[in-house]
Amino acid sequence: MLEGIAPKKYDNYFLAKSYLDVREYDRAAHLVRNASSPVPRFLHSYATYMAVEKRRLDSTTDQSNLNDSGHFKDLGEILVTLRAEHSRNKLDGYGMFLYGVVIEEQK
């Protein structure tokens, strides 16, 4: 039994973690999108963040395009989600770290 994961959600969690390991971030986020346990919730947020970063890096051809407005819009959606969880005291240490990273990216 793993702490922070509902027993019925093990299969989805392990498949999502496997997708994350092979850098299939959107698939990983999709699998745990409705998770209520803390570990899969973090996995969803982190995979979503990494998908945004991967798309940003894949779409840039030179350094001047790294700060496009679409990137900030996508990060804004993640920030709204993390801010709501933070206000309800639902973020663990990893969630707080990701929240800080996203806030820093917005600057």
How do residues 6-33 score in pLDDT, each as one tens digit?
Answer: 788 889 999 999 999 999 999 999 999 9
Q: What is the pLDDT of residue 29?
A: 96
List pLDDT tens digits, range 80-100: 999 999 999 989 999 999 999
Q: C-alpha angle with apex 21: 13 to 62, nearest 5 degrees?
A: 130
Fill in the amino acid letter for 78. I
Contact status, residue 77 vs residue 42, Cβ threshold 8 Å: no
Write phi, then psi, for 52 (nearest 5 degrees).
-60, -45
Q: What is the pLDDT of residue 60?
A: 74
- What beta strand segments (E) does the chain contain? none
Containing 39, the helix (H) or strand (E) segment is helix 38-59
| Residue closest to 33 by CA, chosen among 23, 24, 21, 45 | 45
